[in-house]
């Protein structure tokens, strides 16, 4: 459920008409709904009531500091995957002792940054990384709290590019080797073993892979505990999918039930790292039709938004709902169109053979469910601007990131000053 609905014949974010924002800030832009972000966080938190749970919002889904702060104000922690995201989480007011640091390639500088800030835990994904962390912590005279990310070798049945829990994926330490690794880790002077972590992929639309992975985690915990490792904390990652089209996805409540059934009696503190589930449906990309072009076999709606603004359709074959901002009459004429951007690539396509109410150049469209992995993945390909992000709260809106124009970016470039 979200708070983007038609009101008085026009799409609104909460009580704010989208066309008013478009008039003021220009298109394209991202628009987020505060009430939707808050609602999704609460629904997820309620699904975990009864468990000892901390929700560490996966900042990479949408890392605008206004979004992070909205969640921090509700009590959320943060899951970060870079020094930059750590800086953002702290700036947005997430307490350091609710921040976990994930990722396969954390540099020594990043590890030092995490230790300096005294965050809750660093999720270790390989033995070389463990060695590096032990050395960095030693040189700083501190002990590093560590969770070991296991790769459970479970297929999450999601898009190949966002599957992370199979043995051929780069993430985590093979579950069959975790006992060896932890045994060695317990001899390292500057490592404190806080627990285990896992994250098997993103946009999961079935609960069964979660269940299989949790069962594997429980088995590993039993073996390690029998060996004297306490493992007070288990980080279960994120990955719960959202409905991009009408398709059904598991509810947070059903996910919570699976967690409780499999892991509820382990007496561990549980961490969760949802990203997409919290912010995905809380954002739309607002765009204007530049031209309607009659091709030989297709009618194209050419937008002012492109793959550089929202890459998910071209990268993951993602299907986002597209709706007119002006509410169509019931029984409005539908036309079959391809919805494309202006970038010089055929991959710059948001939808093919979509039935939309007849639209003209100048009309506004909203590409829905664009709150996660949208703005954060934007680029300036084709020397296009980084578009603004706007946040709505009730009948007010605020520009939470300004448009960054090519002029500004070109200022960072230099002509080489060869002397000859
Ligand atoms: C990306 C990621 C998440 C968030 O995934 P969602 O599908 O957005 O919930 C959580 N944990 C880790 C380690 C990740 O890499």
Q: Which domains does the chain have, with CATH numbers?
A: 4-32+280-410 (2.40.37.10), 34-276 (3.20.20.10)
For 159-189, the pLDDT digits (tens) are 888 888 888 889 999 999 999 999 999 999 9
Give the model's confidence band at 420: pLDDT under 50 very low, under 70 low, under 90 confident, else very high: low
Q: Whose CA is nearest to atom 10 of ligand 1?
A: 238
Residue 251 CA to ligand 1 center (angstroms) comes to 17
Residue 378 CA to ligand 1 center (angstroms) comes to 18
Best probe residue, ligand 1, of 37, 100, 148, 238 (max atoms within 8 Å of C-beta):
238
Residue 282 has what pLDDT? 98
Transcribe 370-419 into DSSP letters. Answer: -SSSSGGG---GGGPPBPPEEEEETTEEEEEE--B-HHHHHTT-------
DSSP 8-state secondary structure symbol assigned to residue 168: T
Mean pLDDT of the chain: 96
d(CA 337, CA 32) in angstroms, rounded, equals 27
3-class secondary structure, 326: strand
Give the model's confidence band at 50: pLDDT under 50 very low, under 70 low, under 90 confident, else very high: very high
Determine the average pLDDT of the residues in 57-67. 98
Residue 198 CA to ligand 1 center (angstroms) comes to 10
Residue 63 has what pLDDT? 98
Residue 371 has what pLDDT? 98
d(CA 3, CA 62) in angstroms, rounded, equals 18
Determine the average pLDDT of the residues in 227-231. 95
Q: Which residues are catalytic?
A: 344
In the chain, % of residues over pLDDT 90: 93
Residue 211 has what pLDDT? 97
Is residue 1 scored above 90 in pLDDT?
A: no
Phi-psi category of residue 79: left, alpha or beta, with phi > 0 → left and psi -120 to 50 → alpha: beta
The structure's pTM equals: 0.97
**Residues flanking ligand 1, CB < 6 Å:** 58, 60-61, 79, 102, 199, 202, 237-239, 273-277, 372
For 317-372, the pLDDT digits (tens) are 999 999 999 999 988 999 999 999 999 999 999 999 999 999 999 999 999 999 99
Determine the average pLDDT of the residues in 393-411. 98
Give the model's confidence band at 94: pLDDT under 50 very low, under 70 low, under 90 confident, else very high: very high
Contacts of 269 (CB under 8 A, 6+ apart): 52, 53, 54, 195, 232, 233, 234
Is residue 23 scored above 90 in pLDDT?
A: yes
For residue 313, the Cα-to-chain-centroid distance in whole angstroms is: 15
Residue 203 CA to ligand 1 center (angstroms) comes to 9
Q: Which atom of ligand 1 is nearest to the CA of 277?
A: 9
Best probe residue, ligand 1, of 40, 54, 55, 60 (max atoms within 8 Å of C-beta):
60
For 272-298, the pLDDT digits (tens) are 999 999 999 999 999 999 999 999 999
């Amino acid at each position: 459920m979200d708070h983007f609905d038609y009101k008085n014949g026009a799409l609104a974010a909460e009580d704010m008409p989208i066309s008013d924002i478009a008039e003021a800030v220009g298109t394209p832009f991202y628009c987020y709904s505060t009430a939707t972000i808050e609602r999704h966080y609460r629904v997820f938190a309620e699904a975990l009531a009864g468990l000892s749970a901390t929700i560490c919002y996966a900042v990479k889904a949408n890392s605008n500091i206004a979004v992070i702060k909205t969640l921090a104000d509700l009590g959320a922690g943060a899951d970060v995957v870079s020094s930059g995201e750590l800086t953002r989480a702290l700036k947005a007011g997430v307490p350091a002792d609710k921040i976990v640091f994930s990722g396969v390639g954390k540099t020594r500088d990043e590890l030092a940054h995490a230790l300096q800030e005294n965050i809750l835990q660093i999720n270790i994904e390989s033995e070389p990384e463990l060695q590096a962390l032990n050395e960095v912590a030693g040189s700083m005279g501190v002990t590093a709290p560590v969770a070991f990310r296991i790769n459970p070798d479970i297929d999450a049945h999601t898009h190949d590019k966002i599957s992370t829990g199979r043995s051929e994926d780069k993430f985590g330490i093979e579950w069959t080797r975790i006992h060896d690794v932890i045994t060695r880790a317990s001899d390292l002077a500057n490592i404190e073993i806080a627990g285990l972590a896992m994250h098997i992929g993103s946009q999961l639309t079935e609960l069964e892979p979660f269940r299989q992975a949790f069962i594997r985690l429980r088995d590993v915990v039993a073996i390690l505990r029998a060996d004297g490792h306490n493992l007070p904390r288990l980080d279960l990652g994120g990955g719960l999918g959202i409905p991009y089209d009408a398709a059904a996805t598991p509810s947070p409540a059903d996910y919570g039930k699976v967690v409780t059934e499999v892991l509820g009696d382990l007496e561990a503190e549980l961490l969760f790292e949802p990203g997409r589930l919290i912010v995905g449906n809380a954002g739309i990309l607002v765009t204007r039709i530049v031209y309607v072009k009659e091709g030989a076999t297709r009618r194209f709606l050419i937008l002012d938004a492109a793959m550089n603004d929202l890459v998910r359709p071209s990268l993951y074959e993602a299907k986002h709902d597209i709706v007119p901002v002006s509410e169509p009459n019931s029984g409005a004429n539908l036309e079959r169109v391809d919805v494309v951007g202006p970038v010089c690539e055929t991959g710059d396509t948001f939808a093919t053979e979509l039935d939309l109410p007849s639209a003209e150049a100048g009309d506004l469209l909203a590409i829905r469910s664009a709150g996660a992995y949208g703005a954060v993945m934007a680029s300036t390909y084709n020397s296009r601007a980084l578009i603004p992000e706007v946040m709505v709260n009730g009948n007010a809106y605020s520009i939470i990131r300004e448009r960054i124009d090519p002029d500004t970016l070109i200022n960072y470039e230099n002509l080489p000053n060869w002397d000859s």
